Every structure is written in structure tokens, then in C-alpha cells.
């Protein structure tokens, strides 16, 4: 689906990869409804949109609030009159601890944002998308959704659920005008750690510092995602690390899991 003259909803549009998705969608001629829980971040996105801001609507919303999500289509229709696409980008990570040390409020928060937020948005907008001549749903899973990361087990479980949710949805919607894409980002330089309220993990590099090896900028990641959606791809792997681990996990899931475990053990045991 080409984005020109389409109305696209993007969750998590106030910062990081979500902000870049919004800005690049505007550059491709889309009208965008950017949704985020942080109004200040959304205002910054609107400022960065510059002369494209007239095609941008910013809506403060907690995607874990089902009632608020169910009211969202009417808010967007009042501005743009329709919706042609949905990108469920909003997500958080968990503290870098083992499951035994993870409290239930955090477990519920991760599942509510990453999984239930995606379900609420998808279920709410799907009837409207089915009425469009063509439409698209893209859900952001993670490399952690197909290979285990010690210290991010509940995050990975939520993203694995998003993966199966999206793949199942694609099967159900075969033959309709709604195409579906599941996205698997590897390491992307964003402020997700701070936005998740997690401490003790490295954030984005400061000015002049190098990003971690194989980590993509949010700008590059957003371009890959949007290119994949425009080509109606069912799966989009974002970054060399995601592509490598996707291949290894298919070749030998146990060996791939051990490789990740060895790489992450120092952080987990520190």
C-alpha cells in the first residue's frame, strides 16, 4: 500500500522509532494520527514535522485504556474522515532481571502495553479498515519475539504473542483488502529504556558517541519498516542482527538461544 493520501495511525509516535515513522510517513504524503501517552513528546514531534504539521494530528492516549482506545476512531474521523492504516509501534521493555525477581505489577505493565495495547488498537480499528478499498496493519514485534533473551523473558513473551497474533490475523484477512505485516527490529538506538522506566541499562549514545555494533538509527529502522509495508511484505526484519538471528534460530534454535545467553549473561549476572 502506497502511503500518499492515506491516513495512518501510529502508536508511540512521540519519540524514538515511532516519531521517525510519523515524520517519514508525512514525507511520503500521508496524513498521520500520532498517538502517545506523553503529550510533551507529541508536541516535539509536531514541531519537527515543520511544514508537514498540517497533515499531522497528535492525540494523547494510553493504549492500555480500552475505553479510550474504543473512542479513538471517532476522534480521528472528526479530523481526517477515515483511516487507511495502523502501525502498532508503542512498546516497553522490562527491568533486566530474571523472572524470579520480576514483580507482578511490572509483568502486567509489560503485557498490557505490548500485547493488550496492540490487541485493543487492532480490534478497534479493524472493522473500519475492512471498509476501505485497501488498508494495512503493521505490528512491531521484536527479535526477542522469536529468540529467547535472558533478562527480558516477559518482554519476549509479549512480543512473541504479538508475532503470532499478527500472523494469525494475516491468515484470517487473506482475500480481503487489508494486508498485514509483522516487524522484527533488532537493536535500534531509541530511548525505550527511559520510556519504560527501566534503570541500569545503557540509553542512546550521547552526541559524538558511537552506537553499539549493528545497532540501527531510528531513522534507518523506520525507512526499512515503511518500505516493507509499501511492498505488502508479510515479515520485515530490521537490521543485520535480526536477519542473522532469524537465520540461526531456524537453523538451530537451541544453538541460537545459547549464543544469546552467553552474550547476555554478563548483564544479567552484574
User: In this structure, what are the phi and psi dihedrals at residue 221, rounded to the nearest 5 degrees?
Assistant: -65, -45
The pLDDT score that the predictor gives to residue 56 is 98
pLDDT digits (tens, 9 = 90+) for 92-106: 999 999 999 999 999
Cell numbers found for residue 192: 525505550
Residue with cell 532469524: 246
- Residue 263 burial by Cβ neighbours in a 10 Å radius (0-12, 13-18, 19+): exposed
Catalytic residue list: 155
CATH class of segment(s) 7-269: alpha beta
Residues 205 and 255: their CA atoms lie apart, in Å, by 31
pLDDT for res 209: 42
DSSP letters along 86-135, please? EEE-------SS-GGG--HHHHHHHHIIIIIHHHHHHHHHHHHHTTSSSE
3-state secondary structure 11-37: ECCCCHHHHHHHHHHHHCCCEEEEEEC
Q: Please tell me the distance from the alpha carbon of residue 135 to that of residue 129, in angstroms, as a whole number.
A: 6
Using an 8 Å Cβ cutoff, are 120 and 63 in contact?
Answer: yes
pTM equals 0.91
Cell numbers for 221? 529502522
What pLDDT is attached to residue 199?
A: 52
Provide the pLDDT for residue 269. 62
- Cell (9 digits) for 83: 483511516
Per-residue pLDDT tens digits for 238-256:
999 999 999 999 999 898 8
Distance CA 116, CA 65 (A): 9
Strand (E) or helix (H) holding 66? helix 66-80
Collect the ranges in the chain with pLDDT lower than 70: 192-214, 266-270
- Rounded CA gap, 24 and 69, in Å? 24
Q: What is residue 241's predicted lDDT score, i.e. its pLDDT?
A: 94
Q: Which residues pair with 57 in a beta bridge?
A: 33
Amino acid at each position: 500500500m502506497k502511503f500518499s493520501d492515506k491516513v495512518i495511525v501510529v502508536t508511540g509516535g512521540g519519540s524514538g522509532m515511532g516519531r521517525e515513522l510519523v515524520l517519514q510517513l508525512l514525507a511520503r504524503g500521508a496524513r498521520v494520527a500520532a498517538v502517545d501517552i506523553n503529550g510533551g513528546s507529541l508536541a516535539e514531534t509536531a514541531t519537527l514535522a515543520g511544514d508537514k504539521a498540517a497533515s499531522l494530528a497528535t492525540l494523547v492516549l494510553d493504549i492500555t485504556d480500552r475505553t479510550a482506545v474504543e473512542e479513538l476512531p471517532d476522534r480521528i474521523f472528526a479530523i481526517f474522515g477515515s483511516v487507511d492504516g495502523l502501525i502498532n509501534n508503542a512498546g516497553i521493555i522490562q527491568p533486566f532481571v530474571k523472572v524470579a525477581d520480576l514483580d507482578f505489577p511490572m509483568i502486567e505493565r509489560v503485557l498490557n502495553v505490548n500485547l493488550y495495547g496492540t490487541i485493543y488498537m487492532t480490534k478497534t480499528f479493524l472493522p473500519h479498515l475492512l471498509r476501505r478499498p485497501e488498508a494495512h496493519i503493521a505490528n512491531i514485534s521484536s527479535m526477542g519475539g522469536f529468540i529467547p533473551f535472558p533478562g527480558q523473558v516477559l518482554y519476549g513473551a509479549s512480543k512473541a504473542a504479538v508475532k503470532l497474533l499478527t500472523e494469525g490475523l494475516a491468515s484470517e484477512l487473506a482475500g480481503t483488502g487489508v494486508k498485514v505485516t509483522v516487524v522484527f527490529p533488532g537493536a535500534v538506538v531509541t530511548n525505550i529504556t527511559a520510556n519504560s522506566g527501566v534503570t541500569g541499562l545503557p540509553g542512546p549514545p550521547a552526541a559524538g558517541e558511537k552506537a553499539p555494533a549493528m545497532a540501527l538509527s531510528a531513522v534507518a529502522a523506520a525507512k526499512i519498516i515503511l518500505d516493507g509495508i509499501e511492498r505488502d511484505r508479510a515479515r520485515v526484519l530490521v537490521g543485520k542482527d535480526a536477519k542473522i538471528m532469524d537465520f540461526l534460530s531456524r537453523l538451530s534454535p537451541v544453538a541460537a538461544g545459547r549464543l544469546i545467553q552467553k552474550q547476555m549473561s554478563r548483564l544479567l549476572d552484574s
